[in-house]
Structure 1
Amino acid sequence: MSLQIAFIGYGEVGQLFSRQLLAKPGVRIAAYDILFDNPDKGPELKRRASGNGVEAAHSAAEACRGADIVISAVTADSAVTAAEQAAPHLGPSQTYIDLNSISPATKRKVAEHVGRGGANFVEFAVMAPVSGPGIEVPILSGGATAETVSETLNALGMKIKPVSTEIGTASASKLCRSIVIKGMEALMVDFTLASERAGVMPAVLESLKASYPGMDWEGVAKVMMSRVKQHGIRRAAEMREASRMIHELGLDGSLASAIADRQESYAKEAGKAHEAC
């Protein structure tokens, strides 16, 4: 197999997926990230890309040139902008994949931009953290060519399950899951801070374990606090997309908005505390 892949966004997902995919015969990868243009962070990020065997492109246009598959792995609030920048450089022989955690309506907006030049569009919904499984993380896909694209990437070791030819089903599945996971993370932040401040953590953990004996509540709290501290800003953008989806369904999205606010505020608080140290 000979396959040229481009990543728009070279963060955690782009870097991890690139390293693992480049280990497969015939795969070539280019990437572009807006931080490449940052005078402080750009040089190191580009060196990291080159060290991984990835061509560090000077623009989204350059990354897309000659690519069979373009994968958008940016933040939720940048998904449409990334598509707008890439779309003029895509043609009918190319496939644009959006794996960002955005609402079905936002996915369809991305698809509209991509489709103007005749390129194929497929949505991906990543259904678990990528840090452990990498390219083997469970992914749901959707779109007219989702089955074909999924087969191509599954042959490289990915675990993609096509769920619909329509755009929106996969992303709705992802965001409904996120309401639970990101909501629990926000709960664990307030639970930990409040119970430690009040000096009641041991008693509360004992009670939780009695009510839900299958849960390692202490471990869950530590892991989720760490996730919010590290990824809360990105998770907040995702939960605002979840809130948007809930409103689009004619329901009350205020809880998802509150989860977004708490994810963001704690991440910023933790960042300030780290800088102060």
Structure 2
Amino acid sequence: MSSPVATVGILSIGEMGMGIAKLLIAHNFRVVTNVEGRSEDTRIRAQNAGVEIVPDDTSLVAESDYILSIVPPRDAFYIATRISAAFNARSPPKATPLYYLDLNAISPSSARSIAELFTTKSPSIKFLDGGIIGGAPHPKPEASSAPPNTTTVSSHPPTTSTWQKPSIPICGDISSVPASFSNLSETLGLNHISDEIGIASGLKCCFASLAKGFTALCIQSFTTASNLGVLPLLLGELEQRMPGMMKSAGGVTGMPPKAYRWVREMEEISQTHAEEGGFPSSSSKTPSTGGIFTEIASLYKVVAEDTILGEEKTERRKRGRTIEDVAAAMGEGLAAKRKKKE
């Protein structure tokens, strides 16, 4: 086998991280991760994806040409701080620059804070701001299907597969990137949209406003309709009169394992609309001026903390696999919460 194009560190190997890892490995990149302190599920995901596990952040920094941060939004700054500290702890110092791509769902101001961290603490780390719009990469069915009675030996998709990829806008200075960046960009489908840090994160937040904001509306509508006993009628009306909306509503069933991540994401979106769009947002100084995405964050917090849906894991789905069951589980959780308050 030829030498890897480059080594990419990924933090962390969740559903999206695993998809990106498989895509990179299929195109001759070496992928490494650190699962120190993470769950056994994360370790298994990494191993199943063919990712090499390194013992700590210092090793991750030493091995990597690029690091992709794909973590819950609440952890974005913490992970950047960890990598900065590990980079600075290298002895002797790392000879070549390390490119750090923050692909998390954070606000432009949060992205700028991370950029400032690296500029101040670790100027040899080159920061690029990004966002992921769409689902995890996967081989298109028509490209990966095997003939009947064919035995599949490897779990890793062939490099000749045609992949379904999300959009990944990025911004920042790419005037002096290494030669391997072109291959990385082509493989992942990176789209450089600006030299100004924060623009890509802003685009991601605006898109997620629509996609996950709509999912929140569906959760409320379907739950109330279920409580009223008219959910089948509501779904029938949607199917007949708004089939496009009904198709989009299918995202409700993929939501449960991600709800805990979306709480902070909605808060970052609220911050984006306040700071970049001029809309009201919540703050400790003026808690009564919360915007609509502050309320949506509260809804996802209810899903994550007050219903059985919050216990769902991507690898082991039990509840919420249909719209009807999401609505039923929400109704159960909200009823139990009301009972506790009485």
Q: Name the counterpart of 1:23.
A: 26
SS at match of 1:7: strand
Q: Name the counterpart of 1:79.
A: 76
Structure 1 residue runs without a partner (length 5+) = none
CA contact (8 A) 1:121 1:145 kept: no
Count matched residues. Answer: 266
95, 102, 105: which one aligns with 2:109: 105
CA contact (8 A) 1:97 1:122 kept: yes
Q: Which amino acid aligns with 1:54?
A: V
CA contact (8 A) 1:8 1:60 kept: no
Q: Does 1:119 align with 2:121?
A: no
Q: Name the counterpart of 1:59.
A: 56
How many angstroms does 1:209 deviate by? 5.2
- Give the % identical residues: 23
Q: Name the counterpart of 2:184.
A: 153
Counterpart-to-counterpart distance in 2, 1:127 and 1:272: 25
Q: Which amino acid aligns with 2:34?
A: Y
| Deviations 1:196-227 (CA, angstroms, capped at 9, x unpaired) | 22122344345545654x5252x443x23212
Q: In structure 2, do the counterparts of structure 1 residues 266 and 119 end up closer, same or farther at CA, with 3 Å as the change threshold?
A: same
Q: Which amino acid aligns with 2:108?
A: P
Structure 1 stretch 52-61 or stretch 230-239: which is displaced more?
52-61
Counterpart-to-counterpart distance in 2, 1:142 and 1:207: 43
SS at match of 2:217: helix
How many angstroms does 1:52 deviate by? 3.1
Q: Name the counterpart of 1:215.
A: 244
Q: Name the counterpart of 2:206.
A: 176
CA contact (8 A) 2:137 2:165 kept: no
Q: Which amino acid aligns with 2:182?
A: E
Counterpart-to-counterpart distance in 2, 1:97 and 1:230: 24
SS at match of 2:63: coil
| Deviations 1:161-200 (CA, angstroms, capped at 9, x unpaired) | 1100000111111101111111111111111111122122
27, 31, 34: which one aligns with 1:32: 34
Counterpart-to-counterpart distance in 2, 1:187 and 1:119: 41
Q: Does 1:232 align with 2:259?
A: yes
Structure 1 stretch 51-60 or stretch 176-185: which is displaced more?
51-60
Counterpart-to-counterpart distance in 1, 2:256 and 2:60: 32
CA contact (8 A) 1:146 1:165 kept: no
CA contact (8 A) 1:142 1:169 kept: yes
Q: In structure 2, do the counterparts of structure 1 residues 145 and 30 end up closer, same or farther at CA, with 3 Å as the change threshold?
A: same
SS at match of 2:135: coil
Larger radius of gyration: 2
Counterpart-to-counterpart distance in 2, 1:267 and 1:58: 31
CA contact (8 A) 2:108 2:197 kept: yes
Counterpart-to-counterpart distance in 1, 2:210 and 2:49: 35
Q: Tell me how large the CA RMSD over aligned residues is.
A: 2.7
CA contact (8 A) 1:61 1:85 kept: no
Q: Name the counterpart of 1:130.
A: 136
Structure 2 residue runs without a partner (length 5+) = 88-93, 140-162, 282-290, 313-317, 320-328, 330-342
Counterpart-to-counterpart distance in 2, 1:186 and 1:196: 15
Counterpart-to-counterpart distance in 1, 2:237 and 2:279: 33
Q: Which amino acid aligns with 1:73?
A: I
